[in-house]
Amino acid sequence: MWGWVVLALLLSNCTTLYNPATGRTETVLSTPVEMALGSLAMAQMGLGSLRMGRVDPTTFQRVTAIGERLAKVSDRQDLPYRFGVIRGKEWNAFALPGGTIYVYSGLAENATDDELAAVLGHEIGHVAARHAAKHLQADLGFAVLLRLAQATGVGPESAQIANSLYALFRNGYSRQDELQADRLGIRYAYEAGFDPNGMVSFFEKMLAKQPEDPLEQALIWQRTHPLTSERIAKAKAEIARIKEERFCPTCGRLYAPPAQFCTKDGTPLKGRSEPRRASP
């Protein structure tokens, strides 16, 4: 009997869907559960505000404005994206389950708008592809996560979520997940009107950066997001590929060649050689 109750609970809190970000049908935690886990993790990690430390208001507004433009074109629209800034000279960024993304002021202040868009787009890609939620599922299991999602406050049990995420952010996602987030980030940056080459120039900037102290070295994006020649080459290939795509002037959907008409509204497609500038 108890088994059936648990099964019913599991079925109502996870959902099978086609995820356009990954191009697959996946069984995932429901979005309310993912958001509850994200809030719990934030409380446990001491992330009580979107502005952590004395963050320059201009930096905060810039991160929010760029992040919101990108969020509008994300494949995942069933949660509110929120953008936070942590004061610190680290060049790092991370996405929590549930759609909250933090970037360090050191990264934001050393990146151009196009580069920052690439980094935030990459993190939005992790959210759209549900990478952190999948990591928690694999690490802790559905049953534990569902019990934790119903918890009302932080406690010894909820520390499991924070510990699992700390390990993820320290060790990085799988190579496959990182490459997928790169592809999504490039696409979102382009669709939101940024120059997607910001991804490549940011990678090059990171390679040239020499961290001043070992602590900083342990915290930079380069450590958690290993930069390989493969990653840079794949980013360049993806940029070349999306520039070949054609878009529908009516609904804005993108189609790979040789498509000629929009399958949704029949409008003849147009090519693009330059990124669309989003209206201000």
User: Which residues contribute to the site for Zn ion (CB under 5 A)?
Assistant: 181, 225, 248, 250-251, 262, 264-265, 267
Q: How far is CA 26 from CA 23, 130, 144, in A?
A: 9, 10, 20
Judged by CB, which is closer to Zn ion: 10, or 251? 251
Query: End-to-end alpha-carbon separation of the chain, Å?
Result: 58
Compute the distance between CA of residue 226 and CA of residue 213 in angstroms, rounded to an integer.
Answer: 19
- Looking only at Cα atoms, what is the longest distance across the chain? 61
Distance CA 125, CA 267 (A): 28
**Shortest Å, Cβ 261 to Zn ion:** 9
* Helix segments in the chain, DSSP class H: 2-13, 31-44, 57-72, 105-109, 113-128, 131-140, 142-149, 159-171, 175-191, 198-208, 214-219, 221-224, 229-244
> Does the active-site annotation cover 123?
yes
Least CB distance from residue 252 to Zn ion, whole Å? 7
CA distance 31 to 4: 23
Instruction: Specify whether the CB–CB gap between 206 and 220 falls below 8 A.
Output: yes
Nearest distance in Å: CB 12, Zn ion: 31
Whose Cβ is closer to Zn ion: residue 80's or residue 252's? 252
Residue type, 274: E
Nearer to Zn ion, 175 or 264 (CB): 264
Minimum CB separation of residue 137 from Zn ion in Å reads 18
Residue among 115, 123, 191, 245 flagged as catalytic: 123
Of 184 and 239, the one with the shorter C-beta distance to Zn ion is 184
Please state the closest distance from residue 138 (CB atom) to Zn ion, in A. Answer: 17
Measuring CA to CA, which residue among 133, 258, 257, 234 is closest to residue 185?
A: 234
Amino acid (1-letter code) at residue 212: E
Positions marked catalytic = 123
